[in-house]
Amino acid sequence: MKINLFWFRRDLRLEDNTALYNALRSGLPVLPLFIFDTNITAELPHDDARIGLIYDTLTSINKELSFMGSSVLVKKGDPASVWNELTTALEINSVFLNKDYEPYAIQRDNSIEKILKSKGISMFRFKDQVIAEEREILKDDGTPYTIFTPYSKKWRQQVEKNFRPLPDLRTEEKGNFFRCSYLFPSLEEIGFKKSKVKARDYDLSVISSYDRFRDLPAEDKTSYLSPHFRFGTVSPRKITMLAAKENQVFLGELIWREFFMQILFNFPKVVTENFKPRYDNIQWRNNEAEFERWCKGDTGYPLVDAGMRQLNDTGYMHNRVRMVTAGFLVKHLLIDWRWGEAYFAGKLLDYELSSNNGNWQWAAGTGCDAAPYFRIFNPASQMQKFDSKSEYVRRWIPDLDLPGYSEAIVDHTFARNRAITTYKEALK
């Protein structure tokens, strides 16, 4: 029989899911599909926590679908090969999916659309993971914004009151899942094993007080929503509506996410290059031994070390501490931001190319709307300001007061002067 396929990617939920909603209203039975893309997974460790989050979420979705007499079809491989196989094995009428805006994903989806088109199968793409996508918020001359504040202002003017979650599906539409019972693979069959690191449940109760506590890592009053945004286990529309109602500062953080996503789409060179070419001549020191100490949380600067140890142990790092650790690597140690970006990419549960890249280039001063090169955080004064009782630091460095704790890897004043001199030379 003819069926439609819905392709899960960064939208791992059944509710308020735009492409799935439209697929279920299309009139044909809908088979949900997920592909563990080996072009991505081949580069990951076998205990990658993000794969664990995806797998656990798919397991829950599959259980919910079983009550409707359906299931998720889980595949592993190169997407082009998987789709060639599926179009031979199934009578597919159309494929529904939500857009992804990263360079690899765009190339992949375009190639899959060509395969489908050659076989007479339509592909329908929908906006879902953002409120405003890549070219919806533009300057008056039609060019993309590269400065956050005017982008945010126009976002609020154009978007804030004009989006809503999708209406509920009718009972008969909810019943349009394809009747099937595919064998759900084990994590080991996919080529992975359970990680000791696990994503935390998100907490929406902290949104209303986010502006008061967001810079205090010891309070631990962050929402932990970011991995769930990354993999779409929550509805961006519902969370954004809640933020708009309860806390404008939190809403601003969600707008930053969309700002960086449109930067990546409109300026894909940022993946490997400085957004501002004038910084291309920075003479990075790139000392491998010092980089290793930074990675381990062994720099002798407690706030930096606590942040890195939190990242290594949990896959998270408090946002204020992320700014301090990133700034320390690029300014104090003069290590290329791309090194730090790659390390965070391998560790962060909420890793998202656009935000990770945007924030690292912000810290380095090389990105759009970045911090000026002479803005150099003093990790000691940052600790005094935001963790004055050392509660956060001691949580992650129990040996802080013991003789074995490291001496500072570099003197702050010396490092600051060296960084300013190096940047000035590069900008001549």
Active site residues: 253, 256, 284, 319, 337, 360
Residue 138 β-bridge partners: 144
CA 330 to chain centre: 21
What is the C-alpha separation between 254 and 185, in angstroms, rounded? 35
Question: What number of residues does the chain have?
Answer: 428
Beta strand residue intervals within 341-398, DSSP E: none
Assigned token pair, 399: 């040996």
Residues whose CB falls within 8 Å of the CB of residue 115, separated by 6 or more in sequence, listed in order: 80, 83, 84, 87
Assigned token pair, 401: 């007061």
Q: Judge contact between 72 and 33, C-beta under 8 A.
A: yes
Assigned token pair, 426: 């590069």
Backbone angles phi, psi at 368, to 5 degrees: -70, 140
Q: If you search the block for the tokens 């390390």, which residue do you land on?
A: 343
In eight-state DSSP terms, residue 164 is -
Q: Let me know the angle formed at the C-alpha of 209 by 207 and 214, rounded to the nearest 5 degrees.
A: 85
Axis-axis angle for helices 319-327, 379-386 (nearest 10): 170
What is the C-alpha separation between 82 and 79, in angstroms, rounded? 5
* CB-neighbour burial class of residue 59 (10 A; exposed 0-12, middle 13-18, buried 19+): middle
Whose CA is closest to 365, among 333, 341, 330?
Answer: 330
Q: What value does the CA radius of gyration of the chain take, rounded to a whole number of Å? A: 23
Amino acid present at 385 = K
User: What long-range pairs does 377-382 form, CB within 8 A, spacing at least 24?
Assistant: 377/323, 377/324, 377/327, 377/328, 377/331, 378/412, 378/416, 379/301, 379/302, 379/303, 379/304, 379/324, 379/328, 379/332, 379/412, 380/301, 380/303, 380/412, 382/303, 382/320, 382/324
Q: Which of helix, strand or coil describes residue 92?
A: strand
